[in-house]
Amino acid sequence: MKALPLLSFVGAAWLIAVAPVAATVYAEAYPADPARAAALAACARDDPGFDRLRAADRAACYRRRGPAPGDAAAPAPHGSRTPQRRYAA
């Protein structure tokens, strides 16, 4: 009988420790960004072996479908550099 409270405590501690990781994986697998969500949906439709919970599969999907708009890893389009200001000395 003494083991039940201990096991309950350990189980609750484990759930509390795992919750942030599970939330992060879910947010990456089901993104709020429409472009990323559409890319993942297309990969899931076209590739029966695609697993959106695996980071490697998601990265390969984004490489195949192109970077999502606003993605930090996306290369800037040509001519989109910000002009540098010149100050009088």
pLDDT tens per residue across span 51-71:
999 999 999 999 988 655 555
| Residues 6+ away with beta carbon under 8 Å from 87 | none
Q: Which residue has the tokens 């509390």?
A: 16
Residue 40 has pLDDT above 90, yes or no: yes
CA dist 64 and 12 (Å) reads 41
Taking the whole predicted model, whether its pTM rises above 0.75 is answered as no
User: Lowest mean pLDDT: which of 11-20, 33-42, 55-64?
Assistant: 11-20
pLDDT of residue 61: 93
Asked if residues 29 and 53 have their Cβ atoms less than 8 Å apart, the reply is yes
pLDDT of residue 59: 93
Residue 3 has pLDDT above 60, yes or no: yes
Query: Which amino acid appears at position 73 of this protein?
Result: A
pLDDT of residue 86: 59
CA dist 64 and 46 (Å) reads 12
CA dist 70 and 7 (Å) reads 46
